[in-house]
Amino acid sequence: MNIKWVAFLGFCAVAASSSCCEEDSDFSFPENPRVTSPSGTFVGSLFTSRRGRNIYSFRGIRYAKPPVGALRFRAPVAINNYPQPVDAREDGPACPQSGNYFNTSEDCLFLNVYTPRLPPSPKAELLPVLFHMHPGGFYSLTGQSIISGPQYLLDHDIVLVTINYRLATLGLLATGDENAPGNNAFKDQVVALQWVQRNIRAFGGNPCSVTICGYSAGAVSVGLHMLSPMSKGLFHRAIMMSGSPTAQWVVPPHQRDLAKKQAELVGCPTDSISAIVDCLRTTPWQELGDSDDGFAVFGWDPVLRWKPVVEPDLGQPRFLPATPEELISKGHIHDVPLMLGVNQLEFIIIAYLVLSNDTLREEMDRDWTRIAPISFLLDLPKQRAIDASLELYQDYIGDRPFTYNNDTASALGRLYGDGLVALGVHKFSWLMSEHLSSPIYYYKFNYTGTYSFATYPGTTTPIGATHHDELIYLFYIPADFPLIDLDSPDSDMVDKMTTMWTNFVIGGDPNSAGNQPALKGLCWPKLEPKTRKYLLINQRDFEVGSHMDEDRFAIWERLFSLNL
């Protein structure tokens, strides 16, 4: 496994309402479709869907000015006008990150638009829009077509938008003052959503029907957009897959410790915040990207290094003016339909990687109370973190030998999965069920297919339904897997997943909308505070459960005073 894989208001907001006006659109066929929006003209290319449908692809559209030079560590500056036709036939580069997986550049604020049809006239029926934010822990991956290909979802009548946003130091440096207030990665996402409001009608998309969707770090982003004043009116439904901004980890007012660490990694002075930022502002972006792995403390941990922050009030628009819990308690929530869920085994791959490595296994076993707070994001004072580490060990590992075996790996994997994902999603689902009037749909994905992002070490055999795996059935991911064709044993799951997800995008309800054989037997209930029902997506069928894994979360609620 590549460890890189390790948020409808009644009306559109006033700021967005002008984008719902009729606009002209002209284009040409077939190989290079041409679209003209209020911002400019875009020349695209053709893709073909899994079932042979034409997809009009517009890739590598720069939505904000290059965040370089004086704009590094600054809020994004939107591009509202393109004087010349934009060549949108290829993906833009990914944002800087370690490894040689993608073509990268600091000039990386690009988005892709995919549509199954273009409007022949201003009166054409517009399609709902799915706006997807990629995973990657806020320090890796991209929205490029090799990671988030449209070939599965675009067999349905939606428009898909995928984006890049700045990562790691370049996107989330937060010093708690005017040097770097923070949250620029999320502000990138806001500017991309504003671009959609201005331009998506020309691509056949409905700016008044936008669903934001994200996985892992992208899901944390979605949850934050549901709370941020900057995102008001920019979306109308939300999908959160395996990630949440409410968990046992704290949303801090700054991350000066990471700023200092970054400075040390690239040889910058650390005697003052100003000195750190001034030096980092002129450090080559390649050095910043290549240094990302230096933030790991134990193996690949912590998986979540860069976090959103509560921004200081310096007169700037603040993406997050208070903690998520404070905003929720005050009712500062965008009340939209929500779908969210987790995978059966989530981060079990890290447990296998640790236990199969003699050095890591022995270090974790020997120094558990130092490593556990790092690996499982135990944001507590030192002695409480030590005590919590010991209690979690006893609750999850118990008397199992700390050796490389499937039983211990399963136990340690549950601890990783709960600490990194499931507890936070549980907490967010609970809080939203108490505060939203809009419907909520909760799920657990438990399908093991031919391919997986997590295989037993040294084999190609999937461990089970692990972190990122449902993406395999929603997006074509040629960087890692072949196309799932119609004869594949996994074809039915592609049909199930894309139909449920696009039903939600279209109508705010994932249940069957008429004659949809893929969803035979589906009866997905809404999540209610008392019954806590959810959908289990199994190997061959659907099953309704209640109170998902809440017995396991009881210890976390006690240790972290979650009061759920």
Catalytic residues, which ones?
A: 216, 346, 467
Axis-axis angle for helices 550-559, 423-435 (nearest 10):
90
Q: Which two tokens stand for residue 303?
A: 């998986």
What is the sign of the dihedral through the CA atoms of 67, 71, 73 and 79? Answer: negative
Q: Answer yes or no: are the C-beta atoms of 469 and 347 closer than 8 Å.
A: no
Parallel, antiparallel or unpaired: strands 205-215 and 237-241: parallel
Strand residue runs (E) in 88-204: 110-115, 127-133, 159-163
* 3-class SS of residue 533: strand
Can you spell out the DSSP letters for 90-109? SPPPBPP-SSSSS-B-S---
Amino acid type, 449: G
Instruction: Give dist(CA 505, CA 238) in Å, integer.
Output: 9
Q: Where are the alpha helices (H) located in 418-559, listed in sequence order?
A: 423-435, 491-507, 550-559
Place of tokens 């009866």: 523
Helix (H) or strand (E) holding 389: helix 382-392
Q: Which residue has the tokens 């064709």?
A: 485
Structure tokens at 119: 């409007």
H, E, C per residue of 403-416: CCCHHHHHHHHHHH
Angle at 528 between CA 534 and CA 219, to 5 degrees: 60
| Tokens describing residue 216 | 């892992």
Give the N- to C-terminal CA distance of the chain in Å, as an integer: 35
The Cα–Cα gap between 531 and 153 comes to 32
Q: Which of 62, 19, 22 is nearest to 198 (CA)?
A: 19
DSSP state at residue 363: H
* Beta-carbon-side half-sphere exposure of residue 284 (alpha carbons within 13 Å): 4
Q: Distances in Å between the alpha carbon of 515 and those of 53, 393, 486, 526?
A: 20, 49, 19, 21
Cβ-proximal residues to 221 (8 Å cutoff; 6+ apart), any chain = 7, 133, 165, 185, 186, 189, 214
Tell me which residue of 379, 34, 18 sits closest to 202, measured CA to CA: 34
Pick the closest to residue 300 from 408, 189, 139 (CA basis).
Answer: 139
**What's the distance, CA 3 to chain centroid?**
16
- CA-based max dimension of the chain: 69
